[in-house]
Structures are given as structure tokens and as C-alpha cells.
Structure 1
Amino acid sequence: MNQSAMIRPDWTPATIALMVLGFVVFWPLGLAMLAYILFGEKLKTFKKDANDTVDGMCSAFKRGGRRSNWTHRTGNVAFDDWREAELARLEEERRKLDEMREEFDTYVRELRRAKDQEEFDRFMRDRKNGGSGPIVEAH
């Protein structure tokens, strides 16, 4: 942490003044400033621990680890085989849909680029021919 900062979780004249001012204006502000002075250094480690915990819980839902958490065996071999086949089929469908979405996004991007290029070329032609381009009135 930058130790030259005026407002850091420590007993500095600035933090004490803010705490007193907080109590004078509205007591919860003073209490919050006191908590920051006392526990401010721990907030950084608390935030890191909380983020690590949430990241660990959510990592199961990321694209690569999705199936591994849902593939427990039931004991019925026929059902388990059918479920595995269906999950594989659905994953293949998802992959195809993702590829189609990427192709469509590329198509739309190129279509917009072509339209922009056409408008720019038209503007340059109009400008070269002596006009300043069509003037559009705002309504």
C-alpha cells in the first residue's frame, strides 16, 4: 500500500479529522471511519479471500469444467450410458451453435464494414465533386 497517502487505514491527522467530522455530521459516518482506521488493512485480504472463494465456486460453470460436476453415476448402467450420450450430443450442438454465432458475427461485422466503406466513398466522391456532401436537417 502507498504509505504516503493521506487517507490510509492508520491514525493520521487526516483520518482522525475525518472520523471526528463524521461523528459530528452523522454518527454512522464517524463509526465507518473508525472501522476503516482499525480494520482497513484487513479489508484487502478479506476482499482477496472472498474473490478467491467465489472464483473457486464459479470455476465449475466455466466452459471447460461444466460436464465434470454433473456426471455422477446413478447405478443404472443403461440410464448412465444414455445420459452420457445425450450430454455429448448437447455439447456438440452447443459447439455448432457457437460456431454459427461466430460466423454470423463475422458476417454482420463485414456487412457493417462494407456499408461504412460505401458511405465513406460516397462522401469522398461528393466532396471531390465540389459539394460538401448532403446536409441532413435535424427534426
Structure 2
Amino acid sequence: MNSAIIKPAWSPITIALMVLGFIIFWPLGMAVLAYILWGEYMGGSREKADAWVSRQKAHFKSRNCGPRHYGAASTGNAAFDEYREEQLKRLDEERRKLEEDRQAFEEHLANLRKARDREEFDRFMRDRNAPRPDEHRNDDGGERQGY
């Protein structure tokens, strides 16, 4: 017996709830849309929904969807497995070298930014401390404002 108040189908009330959900807060609208599309597969109860999610996870794992792991199952051919391991180690070493180069380049850019900032600050201080063109010197060495 399915005792859900709102059935997971394209009905005027579910469409209105979906639109309202998108207007109020877009993830709410997405949740209603997901319920409309996949709610009947989940069966309407938490246990059935958990079972459906577990089946989907198992399906994706069986298709090898997801991150690849280097400890993949043996192919049964020792020579190929050895070759694959050597190549994966070589790729890991290349990846490590690229990461070190990236970090060195980022440090170089940071140093360039610091040098540019220092140069701009020094120029600001020189300009700030330089005598202004509207200032004149007295005979006694004191400064006098020109009008």
C-alpha cells in the first residue's frame, strides 16, 4: 500500500510544488523534480529508497564508473600486469614532477608579485617625500609655501 500524500508523477500539484520550490530556493525545486522523476522507483518509504540507492551504487561499481584505482584486479597475464604497474609508477613520478614544477612556478609568481609591490611602494614613498613643485626654499634654508 502506497500512502504518500503527493504521488511521484506529473500532476498539477507536483508541477506547482516544483515551480514554487524553484522560486523559493532552487535546491528545493530540484528535490521535487527528482521526486517526480525517480520517486516511484524508490517506492515512497525510507527502506525502499535506501534499497534503491544501494542498487544504484552497486550498478555503478559493477560498471567501474568512478575513480580509477591503481590496485586494479589482475588481468591474468603476468607480463601485462607488470608492464601496467611500471607505467603507472612512471606516470606517478611524472605527476609528482609536474606538481613540484607547479609549486615552484607559483613561488616564482609570488616572488614577482612581492617585488612589484615593493617597487610600487618604494616609488610611492619617493613621490610622497619628494619636494613639491609649489614649495620654495627661503634663503635661510627653511621651506616657504608659494602662493
TM-score by length of 1: 0.49
* Higher helix fraction (1 or 2): 1
TM-score scaled by length of structure 2: 0.46
